[in-house]
Structure 1
Amino acid sequence: MRSARPTYLLAVLFTAVPTLLAFPGCTKTVEAPAAAQLTIVQGHLQTAAAGTLLPTPVVLRVIGTDGAPMGKIPVSFNVLAGGGSVDPGTVVSDANGEVKARWTLGPGAQVQTMTGTAPGLDPVTLSANGILPSDLVIAQGNNQTGKASAALTVQIVLRVTGGFNVPIPGQTVGLSITSGGGSISPQSAVTNALGEVTVRWTLGPQAGQQTATATAGTLGPIAIAAIAN
């Protein structure tokens, strides 16, 4: 007759295993991941006209101690140099660990910087190049001939540009008559997204050459000419 002792021992062993595993000294504690690093995904080292919105949003990512993206972490943006603004100022990371903001450059600086910060993490710094106005040119309407005391057929278009011929919006252009009488309307205008202002020149009653000048900040004056007959 086969002994029942081995079967008995196995039954005792399997009964004891759950008890052993449940013993406090045998339990391994797994720590939840914590935020470990803030990284730049996009938006660093952009170039745009000073005073304008950068074309690409700034995106940062929070990485956890397990190397995976981490959500629900507040990240704040602050301008360091150049003026300008960032919107929003603070945002919570999404399921991909990412936060997004739009950076508008300040109007008067070439080198501009901002930071992204999160609690307990090293900050990251982003830089941008602001293109400043360097040229004021006549894009249309110079050297026309028209009737004295009448508006010129073609309107005068002036353009403000910076390096690489980048149009500069938001620049105030002033105009004035320097000979011949007449008038320009408007006498002051702000450049549009193309860096341009458009004005109408009505010649004075004097026949012959008539002139006007235009300035934009420190740029100019440049001369605009017309012939009245």
Structure 2
Amino acid sequence: MKPLYRTVLAGVMAVALPAMAQAAQAISTANVNLRAGPSTQYPPVLVVAAGSRVEIFGCLSSANWCDVGFSGYRGWMSGSYLQTQYSSRRIYVDPDYYGQLGIPVVTFRVDNYWDRYYRGRDFYRERDRWRRAPPPPPVWRRDGPPPQFVPHRDGGPPMMRDHDPRRGDFRPGPPPQFDGRPGGPPQGQPPGQNRDPRRPPPPPCAPGDPACVAR
């Protein structure tokens, strides 16, 4: 019975292992820089052409960046540019699918990674300045809702809609009032309308009267 069990187990392992290895394969969806760390601020290693196949060795849990291999080189690519096959359809590599795709969660340290893969690179001499890694970008979910726009969030006055007489919602306001201050009557008002009614009108001037001043 034991030899039969071992034979069946060996057959299952032989089928499962290639499937797991195939799950870590992905395709680049654009011409993307293979970087020396999980951020666009790290130095580029080379350009991975669109449609190229890469092997995923692991991805970060805090950001959608993956440690990949391409044409004998190692580096990091954003999962937003990596597609893989899952349930008979292509999906982008996303933290929600790491487990289903068989992708392990890994960490990144400049000393360990650069000592192993970048000793011959020019930027290896500057590894001290890269020990303080730049903060990773927030994880982006492709199926998440788009950002909502909420107007008047800054506390300003609400936007007023213009009145249009053609819509039937126009209501004329009261006519402008003139308080009699200097500056003349409002436009369109005949002269003399703003005169104080309590003040008597000036007497008429007789022709040739020196006390009469033209008004």
By percentage of residues, which structure has more helix? 2
By percentage of residues, which structure has more strand? 1
Larger Rg: 2
TM range (shorter): under 0.3
